Copies of this chain bind each other. A is one copy, B any other.
Amino acid sequence: MNRPERIENDTTALMRGIGEAAKAASRRLAIATPEEKNNALKAAAKALRAATPAILAANAKDVEAAKAAGRPASFVDRLLLNEKRVAGIAKGLEEIAELPDPIGTVLAEWTRPNGLKFQRVRVPLGTIGIIYESRPNVTADAGALSLKAGNASILRGGSESHHSSVAIHACLVEGLRAAGLPEAAIQLVPTTDREAVGAMLRGLDGAVDVIVPRGGKSLVQRVQEEARVPVFAHLEGICHTYVDKAANIDIALPIVVNAKMRRTGVCGATECLLIDKNAKSDFVAPLVKALLDEGCEVRGDAIVQKVDLRVKPASNEDFGKEFLEPIIAVKMVDGVDEAIDHIARYGSQHTDAIITESEETAERFLDRVDSAIVLVNASTQFADGGEFGFGGEIGIATGKMHARGPVGVEQLTSFKYKVRGNGQIRPK
């Protein structure tokens, strides 16, 4: 630690080697059969189960250090593994093995008048760099999803979960070895030196095709600002639920409470409730009371404040804010168009919902809200690859390039054109 320059040089060389190994492995993975990849995943699951005591011992070191460092209970809980959680990670690998193999799928095919036969065929992206924080299960999930899509992966976990990640990663490598695939198909960066992250963000001399950050806003922000390669991410999930005048209140009430309160710390949690001021019956009072009764702090505009003494006045900063806590901003709007405009101004293009029985209004909202996920009569907390049926996700993206919404196995692929002819030449 007294020789930072030396350490940085070591890290640079180390990361270059990791990039080269990933690139070589990705060439092999691109032609791996579905069986080879699935065998690796199943063997890794088996290895994980067998190594449970070692994984828990490694995790205990991380947990102890986190407690000693005075980390909050929620942090320690994210970090903590037990037998059930390890079994869940192993089962997750087997579920990924059961997914259909995306590689080689013909996405489109057509024949031109000159007889040339065109196919657009799914191929792997190459190498995925995943930068994550304290959840050790990301090591297995991200490595496995990347592998299923035929990609090499470079995993850089947080220093707080390093012992746990090393133990889990050893099982993934055991699976790769058992299946005859290169061990470098899933690499864990062995240093917690922050410069390793910088090197990944610069792309390791073209070896990294995409970066997926998994963690809090400050991590995602750093990655988005510094990365010189594409990033699949969302900075914030500022999700809205709009209750239209044509809503069925019996449907609206449980959805709004679920959208905000099921889990308040997830990116699909509703942060702002918009209520149509043109509703004939009183929607405001029952909606606000239901939230308050669930223990949610309500910050409302003038109309909302009149409903209940417990309502606090909303400041302008409360709109467009990702609380990630049991707090919600509530605003009355003049119909669906004002709701759409509010979302365009304050939202984060993540997930937004409308509650209405009017098909016309629903379609207007679906067409005009420019978010990755737009829902009708359902909770925004469905913003999750598992709930989409993707069999897991590596994250949720709010950009419009390549992947959007939950990033599952299919989103970790690219395509190429296969063109078959019988002697065609192009006229002058």
Contact = CB atoms under 8 A, between A and B. Distances in A.
A428 B261 CA distance: 10
Nearest to A119: B366
Nearest to A371: B416
Interface stretch (A66-74, A135-143, A397-405): A397-405
Interface string A398-415: 001110110000000011
A344 B118 CA distance: 22
Contacts of A209: 400-401
Contact of A425 (B31, B262, B421): B262
A280 interface: no
A424 B366 CA distance: 17
B382 A424 contact: yes
A423 B367 contact: no
A112 interface: yes
Contacts of A370: 27, 30, 123, 416
- Give the number of copies in the complex: 2
B379 A426 contact: yes
A53 interface: no
B424 A377 contact: yes
Contacts of A401: 125, 209-210, 230, 401-402, 414
A378 interface: yes
Interface stretch (A87-95, A153-161, A250-258, A301-309): A250-258
Contacts of A372: 416-417
A267 interface: no
Nearest to A255: B425
B417 A116 contact: no
Contacts of A425: 254-255, 257-259, 262, 378-379, 381
Given A400-B414, A416-B372, A387 B422 contact: no
Interface string A15-51: 0000000000001001100000000000000000000
Interface residues of A, number: 60
Nearest to A369: B416
A371 to B, nearest CB: 7
A224 to B, nearest CB: 10
A251 B262 CA distance: 66
Contacts of A258: 425-426
Contacts of A255: 423-425
Contacts of A400: 123, 125-126, 209, 414
A362 interface: yes
Nearest to A357: B422
A4 interface: no
12 contacts: A31-B368, A112-B388, A210-B401, A254-B423, A255-B423, A366-B420, A373-B417, A374-B416, A375-B419, A375-B421, A401-B402, A404-B415
Given A116-B382, A374-B417, A375-B420, 8 more contacts: A27-B370, A112-B388, A123-B370, A248-B423, A254-B425, A362-B420, A372-B416, A405-B417
